[in-house]
Amino acid sequence: MNNQSELRQRLTSQWGDGACLTEAIDRAPFETDFRKLFHGEALAILQPNSVTELQSMVRFASDHRLVMVPAGGNTSYCGGAAPDKSGNNLIISLKRLNKIRSKDPLGYTLTAEAGCTLASVQEAAESVERYFPLALGSQGSCQLGGNLSTNAGGTSVLRYGMMRDLVLGLEVVLPDGRLLNQLNGLRKDNTGFDVKQWFIGAEGTLGIISAATLKLFTKPTQYSTAMIGVAHIGAAVDLLSRLREYFGDVIESFEFLPESATELARQHLKLRDPFETSPPPARVLLECAQPRAWPELPERLAHVLMKLIESGLVLDVAMANSDRERDHFWSIRERIPEAQTLEGASIKHDISLPIGQLATFVSEAARVVQATIPGARIINYGHVGDGNLHYNLSPPCGTTKGSDTERQFLANQSAITRTIHDLVASLGGSFSAEHGIGQLKVKELERYEDPVALELMKKLKVAIDPLNLMNSGKVVK
């Protein structure tokens, strides 16, 4: 019997009952990432039922020098939860650790386990008349542990910040099986280094997050949601600045959608478009969350937008008049990635820039894209309020799957990504705004990160995980 089958037998005898899966058919969904860029082979899938069981699994892995790959909802864009090809990685799925441990509406906090889906965390907050604001297209399947490990962003960062801003406490299983318990809900706690922050955004390379205490907020009484036509991204940035002067913090989302993106949604998803008859060159999806004390917000917003039409900054406005219409506007936005996938091959970039540099970036990047791949379509949508663009490319119109044009398009991927990321760096931006590093962007981190910061990251990794067993090969090598 080889080492692999012997280990599989030992794992199964120790954790039967669904807590350990070794058959190829059960491993398969965990061995390929969401975008199908990475394919590996795992030794087994472990699914702990409790934190104590998770600790004993981690101890087993550590004793046998096995690499552990923590897995959430498998929605990473960077292969953060895919195993390597060695056949020796243990995937540790957190999905059974899915309890809401406590809700504290008075203190505006909630403690949840890592395997809870983001949607179930939002629902738990709502059940006590509170609000958890992290919002992502994948919220029905992505899990809290993954959101924490990748420091997820999404569509309400403008008002509430990223995942790390929403965390008060964390519980983490360390690479040797010890439990770090920092699950307090204190708003003020200046007791030395903020250790929990080391694990947020570390993508499971320092330990496995098992639970978190999260900040909750006041539940908005209602939303004012509008699609706003604009001429270009520069106008969108000006519009945000004007609207913030009027409405300040009630602006929760400000998403940018060029016509190249909405056109794909109309074409592939048959989504009705409020601007169907004469779509503007670009649009913004604006959402304001209404506090109880400001019932006249929708009227004020409509009034200000009309004034901005008169000034020429805004080209057209469609306000959502019902919850159904609001959901519809959001599905146009949230289903753009799906529409682009249906269109065929794509090259993706998840970049951020100082908001004042977005227009310069977009015009300069368009020039280099056309010089490198003539006819390539630029589908650059995203969270403009946070300076974050998903600067994605599709091959020229009419390209068919498997054609030479598609092959040529994809052959240019590394060259174009290098140029785009260099341009982003020269304008003071980041090559990874919200999707993390995973295995996809390890070399980019080496190239663009401040060398002192990179050295500190590597030192921290060695200090906490000296055997390099936690999700090794991801983030820092």
Residues making contact with ligand MLT (CB under 6 A):
137, 337, 382, 390
Judged by CB, which is closer to ligand MLT: 55, or 392? Answer: 392
**Taking a C-beta distance cutoff of 8 angstroms, is the pair 353, 318 a contact?**
no
Helix segments in 172-315, DSSP class H: 196-199, 233-247, 259-269, 297-310
List, as one string, the DSSP characters of 148-191. Answer: HHTT---SSHHHH--GGGGEEEEEEE-TTS-EEEE----S----
- CB nearer ligand MLT, residue 196 or residue 390: 390
- Output DSSP code: residue 399: P
Residue 185 or 337: the one with the smaller Cβ distance to ligand MLT is 337
Closer CB to ligand MLT, 60 or 381, in the complex: 381
Closer residue to ligand MLT in complex, CB, 27/390: 390
The minimum distance between CB 211 and ligand MLT, in angstroms, equals 25
Nearer to ligand MLT, 119 or 302 (CB): 119
Which amino acid type is present at position 147? N
Q: How far is the CB of 251 from ligand MLT (least distance, A)?
A: 18
Query: Does residue 247 contact residue 301 with C-beta atoms inside 8 Å?
Result: yes
Between 50 and 413, CB nearer to ligand MLT: 413
Q: Can you give the C-alpha Rg of the chain in angstroms?
A: 23
Tell me how far, at minimum, the Cβ of 99 lies from ligand MLT, in Å: 28
Minimum Å gap between C-beta 343 and ligand MLT is 13
Closer CB to ligand MLT, residue 80 or residue 382?
Answer: 382
Rounded to a whole number of angstroms, the minimum distance from the CB of residue 146 to ligand MLT is 13
- Burial of 152-186, coded b for 16+ CB within 10 Å and e otherwise, reads bbbbbbbbbebbeebbbbbbbbbbbbeebebbebe
**Tokens 């650059």 identify what position?**
380
Find tokens 């057209």 and name the residue: 316
CB of 382 to ligand MLT, least distance (A): 6
DSSP SS3 for 311: coil
Q: How far apart are CA 407 and CA 412, in angstroms?
A: 9
In the complex, residue closest to ligand MLT by CB: 337
Least distance between ligand MLT and beta carbon 409 (Å)? 18
Q: Quick one: how far is CA 398 from the chain centroid?
A: 30
On whether the CB atoms of residues 46 and 19 are closer than 8 A, the answer is: yes
Measured CA to CA, the distance from residue 290 to residue 369 in angstroms comes to: 41
Shortest distance in whole angstroms from residue 375 CB to ligand MLT = 21
